[in-house]
Amino acid sequence: MRRIDPNSLELEERVVKTNKCQKTHKGGRTMSWNALVVVGDGRGHVGAAMGKARGIPDAIRKAVEGAKKVIIEVPLDGTTIPHAVVVSSGASRVMLKPASPGTGVVAGGSVRAILEAAGVRDVLAKSLGSSNPINTAWATIKALQSLRTPEEVAELRGVEMRQMSVRTQASRLASAGAAASGTAEENGDGQG
């Protein structure tokens, strides 16, 4: 998988979750923070990562640097995703379904943050299993990585696009049906 240069994109950052951690040593407790951050350009590129440091600003900075290194490209079908997908990561399962224009992002938590950062405007999402924000974030990223465009599927199967697309076949059948009924009407008019 080719790496995407983050400097060529106009990325926006969004902190999804911060968590305080304490580790007990012989001399007492040491505090640290971890942060889950999502970066995206709103046009099909998104990345997510965790950062951990003694202070929140340092943890966020580390997470942003990490997220920029793992940016993925999301295939979009207009304002939605090409097809439905269910992916699990750890105990979390995330289901994503395409939605008609105007639906909006029907999702919550880290799933919503990632989808909005990727530029998906119409989608139905459901978090199944564990609602842990970190695992749901990883499951959402895996789901977006597993998406395929109709062109990619046609290429994998070794068939032409006109044989693949259900929408194209439906419109072709409708136009053929209209042409056949038009021919029948012409024949009826000629006889009567």
Task: Give the pLDDT confidence score for residue 179 in this predicted structure.
Answer: 59
Q: Would you call 55 helix, strand, or coil by DSSP?
A: coil
pLDDT tens digit sequence for 1-53: 567 777 777 889 999 999 999 999 998 999 999 999 999 998 889 999 999 99
Query: How far is the C-alpha of 37 from the C-alpha of 66, rounded, in Å?
Result: 9
Q: How far apart are CA 120 and CA 79, in angstroms?
A: 6
Taking a C-beta distance cutoff of 8 angstroms, is the pair 33, 50 a contact? no
Q: Are 36 and 137 in contact (CB under 8 A)?
A: yes
Contact (CB, 8 A) for 81 and 98: yes
- Tell me: pLDDT of 115 over 70: yes
* Token pair listed for 44: 């099909």
CA angle, corner 1, sides to 151 and 65, nearest 5?
Answer: 125
Domain locations in the chain as residue ranges: 6-145
> Which of 3.40.50.2300, 3.40.50.11720, 3.30.230.10, 3.40.50.300 is the CATH number of 6-145?
3.30.230.10
- Token pair belonging to 9: 């994109």
Among 156, 2, 154, CA closest to 73:
2
Q: According to the model, what pLDDT value does residue 78 have?
A: 86
Across 57-78, average pLDDT: 93
Q: What is the pLDDT confidence band of residue 149, given thresholds at 50, 70 and 90? A: confident
Q: Is 60 exceeded by the pLDDT of residue 191?
A: no
**What are 155-181's pLDDT values in tens digits?**
888 888 777 655 544 445 555 555 555
Task: Assess contact for 21 and 32: CB atoms under 8 A.
Answer: yes
Range in 60-64, 71-75, 165-169 with the lowest mean pLDDT: 165-169
